[in-house]
Amino acid sequence: MKSMITVKFPAYVAVLAMLSVGTVTAQVGGPYTTDANTMLLLHFDGDLSNASDSSADGEYHGRALNFFYLDNPFDVALGKALRIDNGSKLDTAYITVPDTSHLDLTGDWTIEGWMAIFTFGEGSGDWRWVPRLVIKTGDEVFWRPNYFVELWGDNRLFSCGYQANSQDAWPQANTPNNVFVPGEWVHLAFIRDTTRHILLTLVHNDAQELINFSVADYLDFGAADPTPITTDQPVYIGYAGGGYDSFLDGFVDEIRISNVVREFPIPPIVAGVTALPNQDASVAGYAIGADIYTLFASTSIASAKLYYSVDDTATWSSVDMTTVSGDSMSATIPQQPTGTIIAYYIEAIDDQGKKYAYPQDAGYEPAAFLQFGIYTPATQTLDLAFDEGTGTPADASTYGHTVTEVGAPAYTTDAIVGDNAIYLEGDSSYLEVDSPFLTSDTFAVDFWFKMDTIKTYCRILNRPGSPSSWSTNCYQVRTNNAQQLQAISDGGAFSFTTNGTIEPDKWYRVIYEVREAAASDTMLYYGIFQLSDADGVLFQDYAGSKKAVLASMSPLRIGKAGTATGPDAYPPFFKGSFDEVKIYNYPAVGLDTTKVAMELSTSPVEGPVPTEYALKQNYPNPFNPVTNITYALPQSERVVLSIYNLLGRRVVDLVNEVQPAGAYTVQWDAKDRSGRSLATGIYFYHLTAGNFVMIKKMVLIK
């Protein structure tokens, strides 16, 4: 089937689909005049004078030659625009507006301005990586701001948000990737509406047409107190006030900050959409609810429909949404037979003809729909025996999934069961099965594998949390950096690691089960991981969890991580064979909750001994929430690897022990020594090994 992306709601969404611009009922982008709600208004008509009496004039910072004014190229009425030239790494030009109480925003607001960015950075080492249009920077550190309107150069998206007063969340409404186009003028408007507790990011082009509309409920970001933090810092324009990776190289114009929601023509808002999990075949129908409304009284909802498809989006049927109460609406998809995969979305149209489809992606990425499957309980959902010998492997389960071969998987007669197994050469080949039926709260994953080479952090089999993720999975089986085998369900559920090493050129059987606990138990689920060879069980462990496993709808991958490409990819491709891959939507094997001794090879990790000390840049960077730090020791040393925050405080020691010579990779999950998740920001990792000391920077983004 065609790959579909499941969007989790209502925590975050940045979408606009099939937008048709209706009659403009409000001015977009200026030139503005002040009113009682205008806290700042800079026209940039040859100077930094502020038209609002609620705050002071702007102030230049940097060399005079880095600031100059030109006529606004697309709107004569806007007069001149300010060019801020940060095209060189030595340039540090930006504007500030001194702090006043009027610039501290905690309720409704609209923060807006025009910008055209010419050059930008694609990583933390570039001074133009995250150019800020506007930010009221933080007191403790710059990245704890009252509010921010910025661009992320690596993903070319606009991000608008704020730091919650409890300092445990950054509510934000971000656009999809690749909305930003270098050199093009856009008008950004960032709205916080406390009546609906939503954030809006609007992007208009130079013709004042709405090209992107992003909405998020700020209560869904988990802040203990979602009220915006206030600061004693100035408003910065063109720089974040710290970090030296956020300088804007381009134009700005008509920046206005208001303590009220300004009315712009926008489509209807669709929020709180029901994201159904897989449904039992006995269920008579599938109710989908949503909150659907127009933000302003000048427009109203003309129609709202639920669209659904049962044939891989080839054809669509629709059901009218009906009002339950207030803004709450609902519609029901009719009952479908076992094995049906249902894709669905909601479309609302207002009386001005503006449309909003939820979910969608503004045309910048392939279309995404919500989806779920109709299953029969206690059934096998995948059965790959690989005994065909030729052609594509076939799923013998009742669901009959399509198996996609990538690269050149080949059959081999070196099988542990039956006549054939499948062989992956280790640099470009893997198998993929795209189906919602391979995820359930309880399950059994059962397969045989044989690795030609034991690669570090190789994903043997995984169900990633998103199609491109290698770090979060519904379930995964992988190696670590010590030739041990691990079975992990991300989302705080389970993690098992063998206490001995596996060997190359040897068949192993993996069984990983998750079952429900008894009603009287304090745990909700139990996970059991068993590793065997042809002679019997080698290892078995179990653990309880009060959390369910990650409910992923991304394709199952056999022999590949989410982002691995090419022979030198990290994490690497699997090199070896698979046989008898079986998955069930219940704990079909029925493993006991017992532990079995492990007696595997303890041979050292293969590879040459490093000739010099090294500390590599963490990967990925930026990261959320897991990253990997790699270092090398040419001889045995006491190693201390520590994480520090931007204030220089040590938050956790990842390593503090004597280690033999070799190459090491350590994974950090963005938690401190007490196990608490850390906030978005810049962190430093510090390695001491004998007389060798090195520090590098990394960025955590949530």
Q: Tens digit of pLDDT for each residue in 351-390? A: 999 988 888 654 434 457 899 999 999 999 999 999 999 9
* Cβ atoms of residues 478 and 496 within 8 Å: no
Please check whether residues 371 and 384 belong to one and the same domain.
no
Residue 634 lies inside a defined structural domain of this protein: yes
Please check whether residues 125 and 70 belong to one and the same domain.
yes
Residue 607 lies inside a defined structural domain of this protein: no
Residue 354 lies inside a defined structural domain of this protein: yes
Q: Which residues pair with 380 in a beta bridge?
A: 584
Distance CA 6, CA 441 (A): 17
* Cβ atoms of residues 508 and 600 within 8 Å: no
Distance CA 298, CA 354 (A): 13
Confidence check: pLDDT of 607 > 70 = no
Please check whether residues 171 and 310 belong to one and the same domain.
no
**Angle in degrees, CA 481, 487, 493, rounded to 5:** 120
Where is pLDDT greater, at 214 or 239?
A: 239
Phi, psi for 321 (deg, rounded to 5): -80, 135
Residue 104 lies inside a defined structural domain of this protein: yes
Catalogue the E-assigned strands of 367-468: 370-375, 380-384, 403-406, 410-412, 421-425, 430-433, 443-451, 459-464
Question: Positive or negative, the Cα torsion across 370, 475, 279, 288?
Answer: negative
- Whether residue 622 has a cis bond before it, omega within 30° of 0: yes
Return the closest-CA partner of residue 384 out of 284, 299, 325, 461.
461
Over the stretch 83-94, which tens digit does the pLDDT of each residue have? 999 999 999 999
Q: Tell me the two tokens of residue 253.
A: 């114009």
Residue 574 DSSP class: P
Q: Tell me the two tokens of residue 24.
A: 């403009």
Please check whether residues 392 and 307 belong to one and the same domain.
no
Please check whether residues 365 and 460 belong to one and the same domain.
no
Q: What is the torsion angle, in degrees rounded to the nearest 10, for the CA atoms of residue 155, residue 258, residue 138 and residue 627?
A: -20
Confidence check: pLDDT of 11 > 50 = no
Please check whether residues 348 and 457 belong to one and the same domain.
no
Q: Exposed, middle or buried by CB within 10 Å (0-12, 13-18, 19+), for 311?
A: exposed
Longest dimension (CA), the chain: 83
Residue 606 lies inside a defined structural domain of this protein: no
587: which residues sit within 8 A by CB, 6+ positions away? 442, 443, 444, 513, 514, 515, 528
Return the closest-CA partner of residue 183 out of 88, 116, 247.
116
Phi, psi for 555 (deg, rounded to 5): -60, 140
Q: Which residues pair with 337 in a beta bridge?
A: none
Return the closest-CA partner of residue 570 out of 455, 449, 699, 687.
455
Catalogue the E-assigned strands of 74-162: 80-84, 94-97, 109-119, 132-136, 147-152, 157-161
SS3 439: coil
User: Could you say which of 347, 375, 403 is where a domain stops?
Assistant: 375
User: Could you say which of 346, 375, 404 is where a domain stops?
Assistant: 375
Please check whether residues 49 and 175 belong to one and the same domain.
yes
Within a 10 A sphere around the Cβ of 523, how many other Cβ atoms?
14
Please check whether residues 241 and 143 belong to one and the same domain.
yes
SS3 115: strand
Domain with 670 in it: what CATH number?
2.60.40.1930
- Whether residue 393 has a cis bond before it, omega within 30° of 0: no
Q: Exposed, middle or buried by CB within 10 Å (0-12, 13-18, 19+), for 497?
A: middle
Confidence check: pLDDT of 604 > 60 = no
Quote the number of domains for the chain: 4
CA 285 → CA 41, 274, 331, 342, 410, distances in Å? 54, 14, 10, 12, 43
Domain with 78 in it: what CATH number?
2.60.120.200
Residue 619 DSSP class: B
Please check whether residues 430 and 503 belong to one and the same domain.
yes
Q: Which of 130-144, 354-368, 554-568, 597-611 has the lowest mean pLDDT?
A: 597-611
Instruction: Indicate the pTM of the whole model.
Output: 0.72
How far does Cα 251 stand from its chain's mean position?
30
Domain ranges, residue 576: 380-584
Please check whether residues 364 and 499 belong to one and the same domain.
no
Please check whether residues 225 and 283 belong to one and the same domain.
no
Q: What percent of the chain has pLDDT over 90?
A: 66
Q: Which of 204-213, 375-384, 401-410 has the lowest mean pLDDT?
A: 204-213
Confidence check: pLDDT of 10 > 80 = no
Distance CA 333, CA 567 (A): 45
Domain with 289 in it: what CATH number?
2.60.40.10
Q: Tell me the two tokens of residue 358.
A: 């939820």
Run of H or E including 422: strand 421-425
Residue 608 lies inside a defined structural domain of this protein: no
Distance CA 373, CA 310 (A): 10
Return the closest-CA partner of residue 245 out of 105, 120, 103, 69.
120
User: Could you say which of 584, 601, 628 is where a domain stops?
Assistant: 584
Q: Which residues pair with 662 in a beta bridge?
A: 633
Return the closest-CA partner of residue 42 out of 34, 186, 203.
34
pLDDT band at 574 (very low <50, low <70, confident <90, very high): very high
pLDDT score, position 16: 38
Distance CA 667, CA 202 (A): 37
Q: Tell me the two tokens of residue 114.
A: 């025009």
Within a 10 A sphere around the Cβ of 73, how many other Cβ atoms?
12
Residue 401 lies inside a defined structural domain of this protein: yes
Residue 321 lies inside a defined structural domain of this protein: yes
Please check whether residues 142 and 254 belong to one and the same domain.
yes
Over the stretch 144-199, which tens digit does the pLDDT of each residue have? 999 999 999 988 999 999 999 998 899 999 998 889 999 999 999 999 999 999 99
